[in-house]
Amino acid sequence: MNRGPVRIGLCGLGSIGGAAARLLLEHRTGFDIVGAATKEPDAVGHPLHEVVGSAAPGGPTVVGDLEDVLSADPQVILYATGSFLRDTEDDIVDCARAGVDVVSPCEELAFPFTRHAPAAARIDTAAREGGATVLGTGVNPGFLFDSLLVAATGVSWDVRTIRGHRAVDVSGFGENIHRRLGIGYTPEEFERGHEAGTIAGHVGFPESIELVCERLGLLLDGPVTERFEPFIAETPAPTRYGQVPAGYTDGFLQRATGYVGGDPFVQMDLVLHLRPESAGFKTVDSLAIEGRHPVNLTLSPGMDAIPATSAQLVNSIPGVLQAAPGLRTVKDLPAAGAWHDLQTHPFR
């Protein structure tokens, strides 16, 4: 068995990929980062630790193409570029065919088997043929409303209903993400954007609900439903890039529901807001499992998406290295746990 350092590749060095690189360089041992790719032209040709602002030196010179990372023969790639399989599928297939494991926060990869069945089949086939494991994970989807929720049902007798709630202060996010989510629009623009699909809100609720129901052995009546309720700023809301004027959306509630036997079995709410506390929302994450032995969990403060997601990616590496080839989900693998030295980790 190869007990040398694990060869890790990175693709996408934005908020999540950059944080994963810093976590690896600053806090972990037992691996070599053999390649790192970004589409940011200013970063190409510079040392990884400089590009991601790591306090600890290390890592390769950043390149502009995934292909260059694959040619450095990584065992696993942390692929953090986008939310939608239409943008990520080809690269994931290339990695899998090359026999390289993939761990990605791509929301649609977390459970693509029903909504994106052809892409799921293509990735699964490439992974089995290449001998690679592919996993979509993160904080949401991946942890809060997925692996943590499934684990919490482990002490339940009967599960009658599941309710999840997460409220996030998004004032620190950039303008592009706000626009994609649905912040900074007139109510009419918000409505039109949703209908046209240009305002996506949070991506990943159907994936979480389908994953949990499958794990519990329950058949959903049909597709997960989602509805949005925008909040309109009464006073200007400060952001990193200026102000969202009064009369424009400064947040919204997104509610996803999965029906089983005609009843709303799983319901998950997400509030994304520039000023959640002043709008009356505590920034906590909570899960309530109703039944003969109810389980109520509150994480306070709620998880910060960037450190939590980057940690979930990095901490999933041992389980992915050990898993059988194919497209997997967080319900198939051991729960990710923080590791220190990958070379001596028992899972590889």
For binding to ligand NAP (CB under 6 A), which residues are involved? 11-17, 37-40, 66, 80-83, 91, 105, 107, 138-142, 305, 309
Residue number with CB closer to ligand NAP (159 or 199): 199
Residue number with CB closer to ligand NAP (91 or 124): 91
Residue number with CB closer to ligand NAP (31 or 111): 111
Residue number with CB closer to ligand NAP (251 or 345): 251
Residue number with CB closer to ligand NAP (128 or 179): 179
Upstream peptide bond of 276 is cis (omega within 30 degrees of 0): no
Nearest residue to ligand NAP, scored by beta-carbon proximity: 14
What's the residue count for the chain? 348
34 contacts 61 by C-beta, under 8 angstroms: no
Burial environment of residue 150 by CB neighbours within 10 A (0 to 12, 13 to 18, 19 or more): middle
- The Cα 291–Cα 153 span in angstroms is 10
253-257, long-range: CB < 8 A, 24+ apart: 253/228, 253/229, 254/201, 254/202, 254/205, 254/226, 254/227, 254/228, 255/226, 255/227, 255/228, 255/229, 256/205, 256/206, 256/208, 256/209, 256/224, 256/225, 256/226, 257/209, 257/224, 257/225, 257/226
Query: Least Å distance between CB 194 and ligand NAP?
Result: 18
Query: Least Å distance between CB 134 and ligand NAP?
Result: 14
Q: Tokens 């790639």 — which residue?
A: 77
Query: Least Å distance between CB 106 and ligand NAP?
Result: 6
Residue number with CB closer to ligand NAP (213 or 305): 305
179 contacts 236 by C-beta, under 8 angstroms: no
Residue number with CB closer to ligand NAP (122 or 345): 122
Beta bridge partners of 101: 76
At a CB cut-off of 8 Å and minimum separation 6, what does 275 contact?
169, 171, 237, 250, 251
Query: Least Å distance between CB 11 and ligand NAP?
Result: 5
Query: Least Å distance between CB 186 and ligand NAP?
Result: 24
Query: Least Å distance between CB 168 and ligand NAP?
Result: 11
Query: Least Å distance between CB 22 and ligand NAP?
Result: 12
